[in-house]
Structure formats: C-alpha cells, structure tokens
Amino acid sequence: MAANLQKKGFALTVHDINPAAVATLTELGARAVGSAAEIAKASDIVITMVPGSPELRAIALGPDGLLANGRPGQILMDMSTVEPQATDEVIRQAAARGITVVDAPVGRLSSHADRGESLFMVGASAEDFQRVRPLLEAMGTTIHHCGKAGTGIRTKLVNNYLAVVSCQLNAEALALSQRLGLNLEMTLEVINGTTAQNGQLRLNWPSKVLAGDISPGFTIDLAHKDLTLILNAANAARVPMPLAAVAREMFSLARSTSYAQADFSAVADVLCEAAGIDKPRLANPTSRN
C-alpha cells in the first residue's frame, strides 16, 4: 500500500521494525527514519498499520509516540484492525492535542493491496475525509465513508465476522462433501448457483486452499485475533454471538497447529486432517481464478 502511494507521486517518510519493508520503499524513493516520533515530526498526515491494539497504543500514545511528537492540524489515519476502544482512546487523546483521527481499516486481500485495489471503511469528519481521500484513491478502488471517526473499525468488525465465520461454514460443508464422496467441482457449481454461495467460497477459495495454495493472504492467527475483537465488542454491546464463539474455538485449534501462519482458508485443511478426510482440491483450479 505504501509502495502504491510512493509510485503515484506522494512523498513518503517511512518507518517499520522490519528493515526489508523499509528497504523496498526506499528503493522506490521514500525517505526512511528510525522512529515513530520522527514520522510524526515529518508528516502532515501520518498513516499507521499495525497488528493489534497494544501496538497501536504503543506507537500512538507512548511518550516517544506519534501524538507526543505531533502538532495541531495533523491527521493520524490508522488502518489497523483493532479494538474499537483503542481507536476511541486515540481519538480522545489526539483531540486534546489538536490532532484529528481517521480510522480506515482495509477490506479485500493482500493481492488486491499489491495492485492498488483495496477497499476502505473510513470513519472521519467530512473535512478529514476529503483530505485523506486522494491517499485512499492511490491505494484502493472502493472507499466507503461510514461516518464519524470510530465507525470505520466498527464496520470492519462486522465485515470480518462474516468473512471469517463463512470460512468455518465452508470448511464444514466441504469436509462433509468429501466424506460423502461428492465431486467437488459439481458441488461448487451447485452452491454457487444458489443462495448458499458466499464470497470466500466463490472468489477466494478457488485460488487459495482449493488450489493447494495456503500461503497467507490473511493468516489463521489474524483471523483468530479478529474473532476475539468481534466477541469482545459484542460482549461490551450486549449482543449474543454464539456462532462467532464457536468459530473462534475452531480457529483456536487451528492456530495451535502448524497452520497458524497459513491462509485462513486453510481452516478447511485443519478440519479435514482432524477428521481423517481428504483435503478438498480442484482438479483445474486455474480456470476458477
């Protein structure tokens, strides 16, 4: 995503704890610095994407972090998937310093991000949304302004609930199909022609687990993290979500195995291995990409 910004004419100052990621960007012309504090001092708009809430709090709220080194009028745009409470805390502390926050978590796969085809769920004031929109357009093709700051991450949790839980449903359905000796191609043709179809099974799985490719676009570990965020948010809002709880336990099992860093579609392989069922594989997966 940062590479797309740099390629499309935005001047980037970058920092990451992974030197290889920084090297890729400096080769494209970005300027590297050694800390989050230096990013804050150098930027009018700061963009963050980190694994979770602890990391966001550390880089945004710490004594050497973004807010402590920011300035009034600056925008902090966080694109991470985190607890809504963490986003709200950053919004409150930023406001006290005259800094505004945009939450813009990302939809679609890493392959879409590489091509600049991401989808964004944006929480922002109308003014801030217009300021960050050119950046989002450089990184993606679909931008939804969901409401005020804080609504982006909440929308992302609803979206990811369906995306991750549908993987569990698909895994169980295809395991049953395999055990019953059905033809996988015909089973998928039937499913995709009825209301049983879903985006994971129709768009993602044919080029991932069903093709034997479980390299991570979105890992089982991260799917488990997101289900935990979803359940915590649901508990705080007093919304019962029994399916989410059951799915998280399956992903808990999956992440305890060698599949933790595999693509989250590989939950099908985990389930089939546990039941002694042949893994579902398409005979000609390239025709379905």
Residues 52 and 226: beta-carbon distance below 8 Å:
no
pLDDT at 111 over 90: no
Q: What is the pLDDT of residue 112?
A: 87
Q: Note the pLDDT tens digit of each residue in 48-107.
A: 999 899 999 999 999 999 999 999 999 999 999 999 999 999 999 999 999 999 999 999
Do the Cβ atoms of 102 and 44 come closer than 8 Å? no
Tokens read off for 115: 């091509």
Q: Is the pLDDT of residue 289 over 50?
A: no
Clarify whether 148 is annotated catalytic. Answer: no
Amino acid residing at 216: P
* Cα-based angle 71, 74, 76 (whole degrees, multiple of 5): 115
Q: For the chain, what percent of residues have pLDDT higher than 90?
A: 94
Q: What is the pLDDT of residue 286?
A: 56
Q: Do 29 and 38 touch, CB atoms closer than 8 A?
A: no
Average pLDDT over residues 3-17: 96
Q: What is the pLDDT of residues 25-46, one digit of tens each?
A: 999 999 999 999 999 999 999 9
- Work out the average pLDDT over 250-277: 97
* Rounded Cα gap, residues 43 and 119, in angstroms: 24
With cut-offs at 50, 70 and 90, classify the pLDDT of residue 23: very high
Q: Which of 7, 156, 208, 225 is catalytic?
A: 156
DSSP the chain: -HHHHHHTT---EE--S-HHHHHHHHHTTPEE-SSHHHHHHH-SEEEE--SSHHHHHHHHHSTTSTTTT--TT-EEEE-----HHHHHHHHHHHHTTT-EEEE--EES-HHHHHTT-EEEEEE--HHHHHHHHHHHHHHEEEEEEEESTTHHHHHHHHHHHHHHHHHHHHHHHHHHHHHTT--HHHHHHHHTTSTT--HIIIIIGGGTGGGT----SSBHHHHHHHHHHHHHHHHHTT---HHHHHHHHHHHHHHTTTTTTSBGGGHHHHHHHHHT-PPP--SSGGGG-
Average pLDDT score, the chain: 95
pLDDT band at 275 (very low <50, low <70, confident <90, very high): very high
pLDDT at 110: 82
Give the per-residue pLDDT at 268. 97
CA 197 to the chain's CA centroid: 22
135/120 Cα distance (integer angstroms): 11
From residue 277, how far is each of 4, 57, 152, 180, 280 by CA, in Å? 42, 43, 40, 10, 9
In the predicted structure, residue 108 carries a pLDDT above the cut 90 = no
The pLDDT tens digits of the residues spanning 173-218 come to: 999 999 999 999 999 999 999 999 999 999 899 999 999 999 998 9
Please report the pLDDT score of residue 242 as a whole number: 97
Q: Is residue 285 pLDDT above 90, yes or no?
A: no
Instruction: Give all domains of the chain, ordered by start, each with its CATH number.
Output: 2-149 (3.40.50.720), 160-288 (1.10.1040.10)
Tens of pLDDT along 223-243?
999 999 999 999 999 999 999
